[in-house]
Amino acid sequence: MPHDDLRCPNCGALVSEDAAWCGQCFAPLGRAPEPPPVPPRDEPPAPTGVATATEPAERPPPFWPCPVCGGKNPIQLDTCATCGTPFAQVMRAPVERGQVDPRDAAIRSLIFPGLGHRALGRGLDGLARGVLFVVTFGLGVLLAIAASGSGALVAAWALFLVAGIGVYAMSAFEAHRLAQGGDLLVETKVLMWTLVGVVFVGVGLLVFGVVTATHR
């Protein structure tokens, strides 16, 4: 502080910086003692298991949800670790099922097996039933031609005829059930394996009929 700014608090006269008494009124010039410094308050240590507000929360690792079982899988996995569903199925849009009256769906399948399934947006299921119907009836017709009085081939022809009628009736019933919100009676995968078995049996019976006819 400059020297000419110091004045006596009693009379206002100028005084020197190191003067103990005012030269005009002899009033003491002692300064009030400065207050002692306030000691800093000790903050309690933060618990080790709790993150402070300034620390960012740990982000969970990225994952993709399984659309089938709902499990959470690390992003580097290509298939679900729980049920084996491929990651590509997550990106597929849900298939919109057609809204068809149950009676109309059954009538379509009575016209030809599988048409009711196709109208409901299940083309692959309908195709499997249509192909199985054609194969069973076609093999039945061929066996009827090649039977020529053979009891085994006549029995095989009757078996394929009954199988074809069964596929025909099942397709109509399934279409009616699907239109009401139900499920398939027989999975398409099972029908495809049945189709393979029917083809092998039918071809074997045809070969048997041809060989039997040539040896007469």
Query: Domain map of the chain by residue range?
Result: 62-90, 102-214
pLDDT digits (tens, 9 = 90+) for 123-134: 889 998 999 899
What is residue 72's predicted lDDT score, i.e. its pLDDT? 83
Q: Which residue has the tokens 């009033």?
A: 27
DSSP assignments along 11-24, one per residue:
T--B--TT-SB-TT
Per the CB < 8 A criterion, the answer to whether 86 and 79 are in contact is yes
Higher pLDDT, 90 or 200: 200
- Of 119, 128, 141, the closest CA to residue 170 belongs to 128
For the whole model, what pTM was predicted?
0.49
What is residue 214's predicted lDDT score, i.e. its pLDDT? 67
According to DSSP, the residues that pair with 14 across neighbouring strands are 7
Helix (H) / strand (E) element for 72: namely strand 72-74
